[in-house]
Every structure is written in C-alpha cells, then in structure tokens.
Structure 1
Amino acid sequence: MGSHSDLGRLQVIDLDAGDIFSGQASGRLIRGYAAPCIHTPAIDPDYLFHDAMRELVVWFITPSDPLYVFGPTTAST
C-alpha cells in the first residue's frame, strides 16, 4: 500500500491553533488530521514550536498583512 493512498484515507478535522502551537486555546481553527499516520513523527512532550512557525500559522489563518519571504536567490523564494 503506497503512502499516497494512506494520506487519502485520513479524516480532516478542525483543531484549535492555540492548543496545537502553544497549549492555550485561541479559538482560531486550523485544519488537521483526526489520527496519526506513518508520516507523523513520534510525540516529544518537550518539543516547542519555533516562534517563526507560530507566526506563519497565524498569518495563514488571517492573512491581513503581506507575507515577506526572503532568502538566497537560489532558494526559490
């Protein structure tokens, strides 16, 4: 069974972004999956999301400001 068919079977649900990224409910919903799959890393209870990841998720939820993407010219930015 290929990984693409595994992904197609996942149930998409709404999750609270605050619960996922900071442990505190925010009322802002993001899409996620109801159960882990073979592509899901093991849970590390001590892992903290980098601030840049949180800021990017918040921007995707309410993209009211432009998103400035930068990097080396060969980075396909």
Structure 2
Amino acid sequence: MKEVPLSEIKDDLSRYLREAETQEIIITRHGRPAGVLIGFESEEDWFDYRLEHDPRFLRRIEQARGSLRAGQGVRLEDVDTE
C-alpha cells in the first residue's frame, strides 16, 4: 500500500491508476487518509471487485451457506457431472 497526497494524484492521475493495478494507493488530504485508489488490470478484475462488494450478492452467498449448514441443498463437490 502506498500513500500519496491528493495534490500529486490530481497532477498525474493516469500514472497513479497504472500503479493502482498492482497496489492500493491511499490518497491523503492534509496528511490524513481521505480515500483509496484501486486499479483493475482487466474487466474481469472489475467484475470480481463489484461482486465482492455487492451487498445483494454477499447476502445470497450467506443464505446459500446457511442452507448447507442446515442440511439443505447440494454441495458442489457432490454434483455429478457427466
């Protein structure tokens, strides 16, 4: 993780977006954290990020796990593929 003042980000956003593909960049304002710049190497990375932070998707995952704990549903390992 790298910290960069907002004034530097504004001056060279393209450069910091490229850097953010490999590490999160903490944007500071007056020396204090103000935000995070996260870059994506591909559209797939963007899609994964959106799923990981989508409350509806996370809720459905938790419901599915709850069903499995309650003995309902079928585990992926138990699905017979032909």
Q: What range is the shorter-chain TM-score in? A: under 0.3
Structure number with the higher strand fraction is 2
* Larger of the two Rg values belongs to structure: 2
Structure number with the higher helix fraction is 2
